[in-house]
Every structure is written in C-alpha cells, then in structure tokens.
Amino acid sequence: MDSRFYIIGIKHCGKSSVGNLLAKELNINFYDLDDIIENSVNMDVRSFYKTYGKEAFQKAETRAIKYLEGVKHGFICATGGGICDNIESFEILKKLKNSIYINTPFDTVYSRIIKNGVPAFLKSNDPKNEFLELYKSRNYKYKSMALLEVSGDNLTPQEITSKIVEQLRS
C-alpha cells in the first residue's frame, strides 16, 4: 500500500488537525500544502492570493502537488479546501486515488468559519447561502477524487483519525 495520502475537504473540516494526528499514528511525515506554497513563493498564502490572484495561486498549488509526487517516503498532506477547484491539481489527485475526504456537515463547518466574523471570501449579502452553494459543489468533487471518505460529524480529530486508520488497515 502506498503510504502517501492527501487529506481533502471543505475549509475548517479538520484537515490539518487530522493530518497531523494521522501522520503520527502511521509514523510518517506531515505536510501542509499551504506551507509548501509559502516556502516556494516566500510569502503567506493569503497575501500571495490577494496580490497575484487565483490563477497564480492555483499554479503554485499545482507545483506543490507535483513536488510531493517526487517524495519517495510516506507522508500525509493536508490540502487547501479549494484544491478541487484547481483543475490541474484535481486531475492529478483524482488519478493518484490516494485522497482521504473528511466529510463534515455544512452547519458544523459554517459555524466554525463565521466564529470570528464573516470571512472576506464570502462576498454576498447572504454568506450562509453563498457558502452552502460552495459546499455542495465541492462535496461532489471531493467524493469523486477520494480513495476513502470519513464523516467528521460530531467527532474529535482523534476519533476521525482512528476511523481513517481502521479503514486503511481493513
């Protein structure tokens, strides 16, 4: 079994928390795709996106995925929530078929996202409905690229990690 996995899911579903725990459990390295991007562009991902735009960000994201394709040892990589909207990265991950989708209910992730106020990426007068549309379109894409899917519904990161390990070992 290839022990190189990508954790995918909507923003605030727990990708980094679960990814870190899963890497420790499997005794392999953990990467956060945003960290790889930041190291390659020498600025934080928010500033890079804001300064250079979506297209430049997606190119940097794809370069990071291609970099990880060359890593020979096992790893867990937490991706950004928008990875499925990046056509080139989406196709690479779909072909690799080694993504783990944390499917967390809409209300749970929405409450996490707005906890400190409505984020800038939700621009409409109806942020909840805008995020719901994003959630629905991405949910379909995540499912199509996932090796396995685990529910993040009312579970701690440790419980989600245990479910993933159980599925990987079965």
Q: Which residues sit in the known binding site for ATP?
A: 12-17
Amino acid (1-letter code) at residue 63:
R
- 50 inside domain: yes
Q: What is the pLDDT of residue 50?
A: 87
Q: Which residues sit in the known binding site for substrate?
A: 34, 81, 138
The whole-model pTM stands at 0.92
Distance CA 96, CA 126 (A): 37
Q: Which helix (H) or strand (E) holds 119?
A: none
Residue 79: give the domain boundaries.
4-163
Q: What is the pLDDT of residue 1?
A: 53
53: left (phi over 0), alpha (psi -120 to 50) or beta: left
- 68 inside domain: yes
Q: What is the pLDDT of residue 168?
A: 92
- 121 inside domain: yes
Q: Which residues sit in the known binding site?
A: 12-17, 34, 81, 138
- Work out how many domains the chain is built from and give that number: 1
CB count, 10 Å around CB of 143?
13
What CATH number is attached to the domain comprising 41?
A: 3.40.50.300
Q: What is the pLDDT of residue 117?
A: 82
Q: What is the pLDDT of residue 52?
A: 95
Distance CA 79, CA 81 (A): 6
Which residues in the chain show pLDDT less than 50?
A: none
- 168 inside domain: no
Q: What is the pLDDT of residue 2?
A: 66
SS3 content of the chain, % helix, strand, coil (to 5): 60, 15, 25
Q: Which residues sit in the known binding site for Mg(2+)?
A: 16
Reduce the DSSP state of residue 94 to 3 states and report it.
helix
Q: What is the pLDDT of residue 21?
A: 98
Reduce the DSSP state of residue 156 to 3 states and report it.
coil
- 83 inside domain: yes
Distance CA 150, CA 156 (A): 12
- 169 inside domain: no
- 78 inside domain: yes
CA distances from 112 to 33, 101, 152 (A): 21, 18, 13
